[in-house]
Every structure is written in structure tokens, then in C-alpha cells.
Structure 1
Amino acid sequence: MKDYQLKALLQVVDSGSIRAAARALGISQPAVTKAIRELEAEVDAPLVHRSSRGVDLTECGRQLTIRARLVQAQLAMARQDIRQLQGGQQASVAVSVTPVVFMGALPEVLREFKREMPQAQVRLFEGLMPLALPQLREGFVDFAVAAAVEGSLDSDLELDPIAPIQMMVACRPGHPLARATTWEELVDAEWLVHRAPGSHHTVLFERFVREGLPVPERLLEANTFGVSWSLMTRSDLLLMLPERFLSIEPYARQIVRVPLRMELPALTLGILKLRASPLSLAAGRLATLFQRYCR
């Protein structure tokens, strides 16, 4: 596979048609078509469906597109590292950050990183697992600072541990269940959940099923933390949170820990990335700072 072929495929996907892709790439439509056909011949499978509405990917095309984005991201990192080593263009890093970090240690990490690399561009994304996993796999972020259940991650991912995270059930002050101590008291309440393969809620509920414990049925799925926090602190919805939030001001004053006499599975905070995908020089330095300040 050639670089120009993969670029043509990705541009067709992003533009929605061969004509628009040719215009964006500054080449002719026949040249784009030729590049796509060469790719199809190499993988021996159709990659796109052409219609009056434009171009749609086949399943083979979708799989190749995911990997092509990762290839292009790795090549861009290599070019960036070379320019950085030669004293040229400055670095760019994209990272997905879990809420307990962006509401806690993130300002210190960024302050130190900017001191060391003042011209570097940093892009931040919310890092709950349902959001972080596709961002990683599609090459939109270099790495994620994530809280995961060890042993639950797919084989294409690796987690470099930073610290364990103990979990709790949280609610607003004055909640009618704020003094509940048993799971049976809580199971019929309304719960906010973040659902994705490997997420804390998914793993916990799967454990409950294995152990014969009742699983909450009144669930509201909210895969962005801002929505979850707003609803938990302004309604009777319950949410499982890292205990660290009790030491992060001013957020600690907005919540109460429910004194549940049941151990919840701990999470592992760490640097999550694609296995065998090296970080750029700048991304590696930023990851090191997260490891230092988040312990």
C-alpha cells in the first residue's frame, strides 16, 4: 500500500465523494479513482460503493479506514519528531483525560508541560471510557489518561498503571438515600451510568449477575461527565465516582458519599494507548508528567 493511496481513501471518506476528494487533494478525479482501485486490487476486496448520493464504505473499507488513519497518525508523529529534533516546527499532542484528572491534577500537568515546551499545541478531550476507546482506535488522540478495570481491556490496548482508584456511590447533599448502607436499599434508585466495554459500570453489573445480586433497572446512560455531574448534584440520581473527588475543591462540597457496606471494584488510573504504537517525543513527555502528578 502506498501513502498516496491511503490518503486518497481517507479523503474520499472525509469528503463524501470522489469529486470533492479530488478537489481537496488538488488532483484529478481519475487519479483518485485509480488510487482506490489499486487499493481494492491489493486487498482483493471492494472498499467503496458508488451511488448517486456519493460514496459509502463497505465493511472492508471501514476496517481499512480505521487502520489507515492510525498509519497516517504514526507517520505524522514521525515527521513531527524529526522536525522537533532539528529545531523546526513545534509539537502537537492530543490526549483524552478522565474527569478525576481534569478536575484535579490537569492544571499542574499543563503548567509544567508548557514550561518545558512553550510552543507545543495541546488538544484535550473528555476521557470517559465510552469516548476514549474510539478516540484512541481512530487515531484522534495520542493516548488517554484513563481509569480502567484491569483485565477488562481488549488485546489491542495497553495500560501503564499510575495509581489505584477506590470507588464510591455518591449523591447530592440531602438525598433521601444519603445514609443507606446496603445494596438492597440502593438497587431500586435511579442511577447514572457510563456504558462501554470495559467501563466500571459494565464490569460491576456483570459481576453482580455472576454473583446473583440484583442489578439496577432504572438507568440513565450519560457518557459525558458534565451531564452526569449536573444531574447527580441537582436531582436524586446516584452515580459511582472515584473517592478522590472528596478531596477536590470545590466539587467535594457538592456531593455526599453513601456509606455503602459493600466493596466496589477498584479502578486503575493509567496511561492508555494502542499496543505497539509508540508515542511521539512530545506525547511521551506529557504522559510522563501525568504519571508524576496523578499518583
Structure 2
Amino acid sequence: MPNLPKISHLRVFEAIILHGSVRAAAKALNQTQPGITRTLKELETTLGATLMVRGTRGMVLTDMGRLFETRMKFVLNELERAVDEIKQVNQSQHGTVSFGCSHLKTLSIIPSVMQRIHKMYPKAQISLYEGQQSELLPSLRVGRLDFFIGIISEEISLGEFVEEPLLSCPFGVIARKGHPLANSTSLAELRNAKWYLPVAGAGYYHDLELFLFPEGKGPENAIFKGDSIAVGERLVLEADYLVIGPLAMLDIDFVNKLFCTIPVKEKLPDGHYSLLYRQDSSLTPLAKHLINEIRIECGKQVIQRVN
């Protein structure tokens, strides 16, 4: 590898060009004139070329000096940009971000995202709040949450937000393997089942009850509402409750071993997931990076379904 100039050489060369003389460059860099002259000579020796000569109005670039100036500015700009990026990452390592996410989607997206994020931002404090749009939107409006990912309802005004569609997922009825109703082929056969459904004042899950029970609920029907994955899992496995969720959940190994889809003939509405954040708020570098990782993970799921 050839002997390369030092950053201090480039800074001095840049200062002489900017200020027009060795004396002015020395004053700007808080160095002595002999020191500036010595550094310039070291740079010229390293390059094997004369970069500047004294003129009637100060230092003047030679042809080789003008050639080197262009490259030198590019190198310094790139180094400054790299330093800025590193500083942003270091600051983000100590930063915080809070976001909301549909509790069912957290199973398939968030684990992989968190794994990658914590490698780059090991000191970051990240808070996840599970729930549906109608429940978490107030927190997003007042700034308690940086962003939300979930199924977006057309019934709710989103004028102050930016909405970015991420992916659409087919939904189905999910039960434990071996459930007495596991082989049912219509929703009518599930009228008397027990259901665990998310709390939702509007949107997908709010409208879903009308779809699930078009002829009304059966006399033994029971609906328990909540937003806890842990509670839902125990209810399904130990109390024979049914849930509605994205079929992509069953692509996760431990979920596939314990749960199954009930093959009803009725096609449930797809869930359309979007990213939501406030228009009047600047996202931190950490939040932007987290969002980008979520976009990447959603893109992977889309590709997997296509293949």
C-alpha cells in the first residue's frame, strides 16, 4: 500500500486554500506559520509533487495541486459524513423508543427485528405496547408512542398521521391441535364455541364479530376479550378457546406444533397492516432504524408467501 497523507496534512492544505496564505491558515488552525509550512512540505513529499507556490497575492495552486484539491475535498467530506453517522449511532445506543403493535403480529415480526436492532443499539431502551389501533391511537396522538404497526381502521380519522402500508395477511380461525371442533368446516358449527378476541372499539376485530356470527351466537357461546398473548395462549391450550389471527403465525415452529387452523369454508377478511406515525413529529435515528428493520421483515414475509 502506498504511503498515504495524514488527515492533519489534508486539513492544513484545505485551510491554506480557504484562507489564501500560510499566515492566515496558521491563525485559523491555531498553529505556528513554520508548523503549517512544515506540514505542507510533508504532504508534498508524501505525494511526490509540488501542490502550491507563492504568488503575489499569497499561495497559488499548481496543476497538481488543483488535481489533488478535488480528491481531497471528497475524502474529507466522506470522512465527516462517516463521523456524523457514527455519532448518531452512539447517541441512539443510549436513546429510547416506544411503539405499539398488534399483539398477534408481534409473534412473527418483532423477535427477528429486535435481534438485529440490539446488535447495533445494545444500550437502547425499547418499549413495546400490545394492542389494536383504537386502543393505542390516543397514546400515539399525545406522543407517548413514536409509531404504531397494526391493522388500520377506515372508521378512524388519521388526518394528523402518516400511514404507510406494510403487508396484507390472510386470517383464519386458530385452535389447539386436537380441539373437538378442529375439523369443523363452517362458522355455523362454531356458534357455541368459546372465543378469545382482542379489545377493539373499532376496526377489524370490532367488525369481525358480525362476520363470525351472522346468525347470532349460540346459547353456549362465550367471548373473552383481552390483549395478552400469554393469556390467550393458555386459554387456547388449556380451556379450548378459539382465536382469530394471521395464518402466518403457523409458520413459526413452536406455534405450528401446538396450534392448527380450523378449515371453515368462509374466507375471513384479510388483515391489512400499516405503519402509523405523527406528521408533526421528527423520528429519532433509533426509531427510523427500527422502522426500517420492520419494513425489511415485512418484505421477507411477503416474499415467503409468494414463493
Calculate the TM-score normalised by the size of structure 2. Answer: 0.60
Structure 2 match to 1:140: 144
Instruction: Give the conservation status (yes or no) of the 8 Å contact 1:164–1:267.
Output: yes
Structure 2 match to 1:221: 225
Instruction: Give the conservation status (yes or no) of the 8 Å contact 1:96–1:143.
Output: yes
Distance 1:100 1:237 in 2: 16
Distance 1:264 1:164 in 2: 13
Shift of 1:178: 0.6
Instruction: Give the conservation status (yes or no) of the 8 Å contact 1:149–1:203.
Output: no
Q: Indicate which of 239, 242, 246 corresponds to 1:242.
A: 246
Structure 1 match to 2:284: 280
Q: Give the counterpart letter for 2:216 in structure 1.
A: P
Instruction: Give the conservation status (yes or no) of the 8 Å contact 1:99–1:225.
Output: yes
Q: Give the counterpart letter for 2:129 in structure 1.
A: F
Structure 2 match to 1:271: 275
Structure 2 match to 1:294: 298
Residue correspondence of structure 1 range 64-143 to structure 2 within 5 A:
90-129=94-133, 131-143=135-147
Instruction: Give the conservation status (yes or no) of the 8 Å contact 1:169–1:239.
Output: yes
Secondary structure of the residue aligned to 1:271 is strand
Instruction: Give the conservation status (yes or no) of the 8 Å contact 1:94–1:141.
Output: yes
Residue correspondence of structure 1 range 152-163 to structure 2 within 5 A:
152-156=155-159, 157-163=161-167
Shift of 1:143: 1.0
Q: Structure 1: give runs of 5+ residues left out of the alignment.
A: 1-83
> Which stretch shifts more, 149-158 or 183-192?
149-158
1:170-204 alpha-carbon deviations (Å, 9 max, x no partner): 11122111111111111221111113133432122
Shift of 1:130: 5.6
Shift of 1:286: 0.8
Q: Indicate which of 183, 195, 198 corresponds to 1:194.
A: 198
Structure 1 match to 2:188: 184
Q: Give the counterpart letter for 1:246 in structure 2.
A: L
How many residues matched?
Answer: 212
Cα–Cα, structure 1 residues 242 and 196, in superposed 2: closer, same or farther, change >3 Å?
A: same
Instruction: Give the conservation status (yes or no) of the 8 Å contact 1:101–1:294.
Output: no
Cα–Cα, structure 1 residues 237 and 100, in superposed 2: closer, same or farther, change >3 Å?
A: closer
Instruction: Give the conservation status (yes or no) of the 8 Å contact 2:199–2:227.
Output: yes
Distance 1:104 1:286 in 2: 16
Whether 2:174 is the aligned partner of 1:166: answer: no
1:120-147 alpha-carbon deviations (Å, 9 max, x no partner): 322222244465334323422211222x
Q: Give the counterpart letter for 2:183 in structure 1.
A: R
Distance 1:266 1:107 in 2: 23
Shift of 1:161: 1.4
Instruction: Give the conservation status (yes or no) of the 8 Å contact 1:270–1:291.
Output: no
Secondary structure of the residue aligned to 2:253 is coil
Distance 1:239 1:88 in 2: 42
Instruction: Give the conservation status (yes or no) of the 8 Å contact 2:174–2:245.
Output: yes
Cα–Cα, structure 1 residues 95 and 86, in superposed 2: closer, same or farther, change >3 Å?
A: closer
Cα–Cα, structure 1 residues 287 and 235, in superposed 2: closer, same or farther, change >3 Å?
A: same
User: CA-atom RMSD, angstroms?
Assistant: 3.0
1:21-56 alpha-carbon deviations (Å, 9 max, x no partner): xxxxxxxxxxxxxxxxxxxxxxxxxxxxxxxxxxxx
Shift of 1:280: 2.3
Instruction: Give the conservation status (yes or no) of the 8 Å contact 2:177–2:258.
Output: yes
1:95-127 alpha-carbon deviations (Å, 9 max, x no partner): 223334432232321232233334432222224
Q: Structure 2: give runs of 5+ residues left out of the alignment.
A: 1-86, 300-307
Distance 1:203 1:154 in 2: 17
Shift of 1:271: 1.5
Q: Give the counterpart letter for 2:298 in structure 1.
A: C
Q: Percent identity?
A: 22
Q: Give the counterpart letter for 2:100 in structure 1.
A: S
Instruction: Give the conservation status (yes or no) of the 8 Å contact 2:174–2:260.
Output: yes
Q: Give the counterpart letter for 1:155 in structure 2.
A: L
Cα–Cα, structure 1 residues 239 and 163, in superposed 2: closer, same or farther, change >3 Å?
A: same
Distance 1:195 1:155 in 2: 20
Whether 2:165 is the aligned partner of 1:151: answer: no
Larger Rg: 2
Q: Give the counterpart letter for 1:240 in structure 2.
A: I
Q: Give the counterpart letter for 1:233 in structure 2.
A: L
